[in-house]
């Protein structure tokens, strides 16, 4: 059906003429005064009533009597309400049938209006996307990073439904500029973290994630420095342990080469010679050692027994002979 917008004689109903004829029903309680008198008597009878362990059975019987009266009145209320509502139920059904044609027209119009509104919204969104993309490209910002403000779709931001207003352009430009400033600040923070990481010899990756955890740059750099120091300390400790293990291995190997056990090397038992003038104060000894390990072993032995010593020559036997022949 084509809509006739020129026809002024549109059928209508004046809502002020809407009126429903009805006859109010009167509900009364038969013998209400007599029942009220009985209620007063029961009130006086049970006033101050006290339940005890000794009279518990009788107390329950009294409660049952009262409950029986209450149930009887409530059942009567439900029955009357059901009968009373029958005219109302019929009225509501008749009214719904009467208004059904107009209600269907209303729902159809509502659906069509929603479709038109959605179409307007989509076209406005296209206009907004074009403005955002142009402004973002100018600032070298990814348009997908710009957060859309839902109010930009409102009619107040457009002329003739689809033409953008200066207000819309201004707010989009400001949104893009804010994002550009935010990205620049983040880039500066990332560069500072990366520079510090390279300077102290670590990877910046785990610390870059901290930016999204709302941590200040100073806090991130402190955490990075602390982590590196702790890692370095652990590595130095491990290296010292490995060196000690290597030294212990060398000591055991030397002990095996000289036929000594570990106790002989570490905790020697000093020999206490008897004081006598038969031994000279100084002995000149010529000792030939096959390798540097034996030399180190001899040195450890002399020091373990507090024997003062001085090496007069270090070299091979051949070099020793040549040195003495020259004298």
pLDDT exceeding 70 applies to what percent of the chain? 80
pLDDT, greater one: 199 or 15:
199
Residue at 47 is within a domain: no
Give the mean pLDDT of 177-206.
91
Q: What is the DSSP letter of 164?
A: E
Q: Is the predicted pLDDT of residue 94 greater than 80, yes or no?
A: yes
Give the mean pLDDT of 224-229.
90
Q: Are 197 and 225 in contact (CB under 8 A)?
A: no
Domain count, the chain: 3
Residues 218 and 240 placed together within one structural domain of the fold: yes
Residues 115 and 182 placed together within one structural domain of the fold: yes
Residue at 105 is within a domain: yes
Residues 103 and 162 placed together within one structural domain of the fold: yes
Question: Pick from 167, 189, 211: which residue ends a domain?
Answer: 189
> What pLDDT score was predicted for residue 212?
85
Q: For the segment 104-156, what is each residue's pLDDT rounded down to a tens digit?
A: 999 999 999 999 999 999 999 999 999 999 999 999 999 999 999 999 999 99
Backbone angles phi and psi of 52, in degrees to 5: -130, 165
pLDDT, greater one: 324 or 182:
182
Question: Pick from 133, 157, 189: which residue ends a domain?
Answer: 189
> What pLDDT score was predicted for residue 300?
72
How sure is the predictor about 267, in pLDDT bands with cuts at 50, 70 and 90?
A: very low
Q: List the domain range (segments joined by +) for residue 156.
A: 85-189
Q: What is the DSSP letter of 261?
A: -
Residue at 148 is within a domain: yes
Least confident of 177-181, 205-209, 230-234, 259-263: 259-263
> What pLDDT score was predicted for residue 308?
74
> What pLDDT score was predicted for residue 139?
94
Residue at 18 is within a domain: no
Residue at 75 is within a domain: no
Question: Pick from 189, 215, 244: which residue ends a domain?
Answer: 189
Residues 89 and 173 placed together within one structural domain of the fold: yes
Residues 207 and 250 placed together within one structural domain of the fold: yes
How sure is the predictor about 163, in pLDDT bands with cuts at 50, 70 and 90?
A: very high
Q: For the segment 20-51, what is each residue's pLDDT rounded down to a tens digit?
A: 888 878 888 889 999 999 999 999 999 999 99
How sure is the predictor about 161, in pLDDT bands with cuts at 50, 70 and 90?
A: confident
Residue at 176 is within a domain: yes
- Alpha helix locations (H) across the chain? 32-46, 56-138, 166-200, 205-208, 217-257, 262-266, 292-304, 317-325
Residues 256 and 206 placed together within one structural domain of the fold: yes
- Residues with Cβ < 8 Å from 152, sequence gap 6 or more? 124, 128, 168, 171, 172
Q: For the segment 48-57, what is each residue's pLDDT rounded down to a tens digit?
A: 999 999 999 9
> What pLDDT score was predicted for residue 266?
47
Residues 174 and 234 placed together within one structural domain of the fold: no
Residue at 205 is within a domain: yes
User: CA torsion, points 149, 151, 152, 155, in degrees to nearest 10?
Assistant: 170
> What pLDDT score was predicted for residue 120?
95
> What pLDDT score was predicted for residue 1?
57
Residues 172 and 102 placed together within one structural domain of the fold: yes
Cα angle 224, 227, 233 (rounded to 5 degrees) comes to: 140
Query: What is the rounded average pLDDT for all residues in the chain?
Result: 84
Residues 222 and 289 placed together within one structural domain of the fold: no
Residues 211 and 185 placed together within one structural domain of the fold: no
Residues 114 and 159 placed together within one structural domain of the fold: yes
Residues 185 and 92 placed together within one structural domain of the fold: yes
Residue at 52 is within a domain: no
Strands (E), the chain: 158-159, 163-164
> What pLDDT score was predicted for residue 73?
92
Q: Is the predicted pLDDT of residue 317 greater than 60, yes or no?
A: yes
The top-scoring range by mean pLDDT among 3-7, 86-90, 254-258, 260-264 is 86-90
């Amino acid at each position: 059906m084509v809509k006739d917008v020129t026809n002024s004689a549109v059928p209508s109903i004046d809502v002020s003429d809407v009126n429903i004829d009805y006859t109010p029903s009167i509900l009364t309680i038969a013998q209400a005064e007599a029942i009220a008198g009985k209620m007063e008597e029961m009130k006086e009878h049970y006033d101050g009533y006290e339940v005890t362990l000794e009279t518990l059975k009788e107390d329950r019987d009294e409660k049952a009597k009262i409950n029986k009266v209450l149930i009887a009145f409530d059942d009567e209320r439900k029955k009357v309400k059901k009968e009373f509502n029958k005219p109302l139920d019929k009225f509501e059904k008749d009214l719904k049938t009467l208004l059904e044609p107009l209600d269907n027209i209303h729902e159809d119009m509502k659906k069509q209006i929603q479709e038109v509104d959605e179409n307007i919204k989509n076209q406005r969104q296209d206009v907004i996307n074009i403005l955002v993309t142009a402004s973002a490209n100018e600032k070298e910002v990814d348009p997908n990073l710009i957060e859309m403000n839902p109010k930009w779709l409102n009619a107040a931001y457009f002329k003739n439904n689809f033409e953008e207003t200066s207000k819309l352009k201004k707010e989009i430009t400001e949104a893009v500029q804010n994002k550009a400033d935010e990205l620049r600040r983040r880039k500066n923070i990332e560069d500072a973290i990366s520079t510090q990481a390279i300077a102290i010899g670590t990877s910046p990756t785990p610390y870059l994630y901290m930016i999204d955890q709302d941590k200040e740059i100073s806090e991130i750099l402190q955490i990075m420095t602390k982590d590196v120091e702790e890692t370095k300390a652990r590595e130095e400790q491990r290296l010292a342990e490995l060196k000690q293990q290597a030294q212990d291995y060398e000591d055991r190997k030397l002990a095996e080469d000289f036929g000594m056990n570990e106790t002989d090397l570490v905790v020697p038992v000093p020999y206490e010679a008897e004081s006598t003038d038969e031994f000279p104060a100084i002995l000149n000894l010529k000792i030939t050692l096959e390798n540097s390990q034996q030399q180190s072993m001899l040195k450890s032995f002399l020091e373990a027994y507090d024997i003062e010593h001085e090496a007069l020559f270090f070299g091979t036997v051949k070099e020793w002979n040549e040195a003495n022949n020259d004298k």
